[in-house]
Amino acid sequence: MKLAFITQDFPPDIGGIQTYSLEIAKRMSAMCDDFVLIAPDKANAKEVDQALNFEVCRIKTTNTLIGIMSIPKVIRLLRKRKIDVIFHAQWPTLMVTAIAKKIGLLRFVGVAAHGREFTFNPFHRTKTGSKFYQSYRQYLIPKADFFFPVSHYTANLLTEHGISPDQQAVVINGTDPEMFYPMDMNALKQKYGYADKKIIITITRLIELKAVDTVLRAMPHLIEEFPNLLYLVVGDGSYKNELVKISRELNLEKQVKFLGKVPYEQVNEYYNLSDIYVMPSKKMGERTEAFGIVFLEANACGKPTIGSRTGGIADAVLDEQTGLLVEERNPKELAEAIRRLLRDDALRKRMGEAGRKRVETEANWDAVAQRIYGLIEQQL
């Protein structure tokens, strides 16, 4: 198979789709007879590309416009190297495919679907702009032959946008079980000075969507029974000041620590430092958590997870198997789920082990890339 992978989100930028694009590309490039990834040019991109084992073609343009600005270069690539399969990390880059299809250069066009790209409208503030963008999306998405939604929530979004169930297959996200793995929690608690603590943790961007405020409001329901409970919040973002304010209003300064960003090489230690990973994201208008790779990272470290019944989290947290699901915006129900796990060491251990096994067998990037590649071969 000769394949071009087009993504508007790629390192050195950081984020979930950037990680998805990088990890899938690493593996698919080894499976293909010819492979090239097309991405926007960025500062420090050269250093990133030199460390990769596949070719990256950078286009001097913005993330948003790469699907249009890459058309001349991509058409030349397809013709010169006889590449006839294109995989898109998201639908907005499909314009180049529409042109290539029209002139008969492609056999197959696949598109990953993450969620927000089907609900977010950058022109929502104006009626004319909003309608134009919706029409643009509805014009482009039928140009794809097959979609790879990362959750059943995203698959439902595709169906709402007119994509037949026969034109899609859910392929959940993954993580790297060699990067995230169990460590000696007692030794880590000793190292960080938390030897006598029960620890819950959230590692995320601090935006309102992630619902760290719901965890803070659950804490007063737990402290009487668990006076040694500590909540670690790892990450930074626009909502941090508001979260600090809420923590102070609830008199939680001793029980909550905002640690900011930690070096990436230490993230595995912080997952392992905890007893439970918690992130009860909430729906905000059209925005919601489409999956949540952090749940898999925590599971890979042998930790049970708690998420909310919103968006695609149910595909990341298998309720009563690898963790627990609660209603969003419900501090009391969240507190009860945390209480249940803190009381039951055997339950925490069982769910953490089930999560690790799931990551080792199916929710890892090797398995994800192999499934996508296999589905493309079937379609061809």
Q: Are 34 and 2 in contact (CB under 8 A)?
A: yes
pLDDT value, residue 187: 94
In this prediction the pTM is: 0.93
The string of pLDDT tens digits covering residues 246-292 is 999 999 999 999 999 999 889 999 999 999 999 999 998 878 999 99
Rounded distance between C-alpha atoms, residue 185 and residue 254, angstroms: 21
pLDDT value, residue 103: 92
Q: How many CB atoms lie within 10 A of CB 161?
A: 16
pLDDT value, residue 121: 78
Which residue in 308, 276, 274 sits closest to 291, CA to CA?
A: 308
For the chain, the three-class secondary structure string (H helix, E strand, C coil) is CEEEEECCCCCCCCCHHHHHHHHHHHHHHHHCCEEEEEEECCCCHHHHHHCCCCEEEEECCCCCCHHHHCHHHHHHHHHHHCCCEEEECCHHHCHHHHHHHHCCCCCEEEEEECCHHHCCCCCCCCHHHHHHHHHHHHHHHHHCCEEEECCHHHHHHHHHCCCCHHHECCCCCCECCCCCCCCCHHHHHHHHCCCCCEEEEEECCCCHHHCHHHHHHHCHHHHCCCCCEEEEEECCCCCHHHHHHHHHHCCCCCCEEEEECCCHHHHHHHHHHCCEEEECCCCECCECCCCCHHHHHHHHCCCCEEEECCCCHHHHCCECCCEEEECCCCHHHHHHHHHHHHHCHHHHHHHHHHHHHHHHHCCEHHHHHHHHHHHHHHHC
Rounded distance between C-alpha atoms, residue 239 and residue 213, angstroms: 10
Domains of the chain from N-terminus onward: 2-174+364-379 (3.40.50.2000), 185-361 (3.40.50.2000)
How many percent of the chain have pLDDT more than 90?
90
**Residue ranges in the chain modelled with pLDDT below 70:** none
The DSSP bridge partners found for residue 234 are 203, 260
pLDDT value, residue 111: 97
Q: How far is CA 329 from CA 75, 80, 218, in A?
A: 48, 54, 10
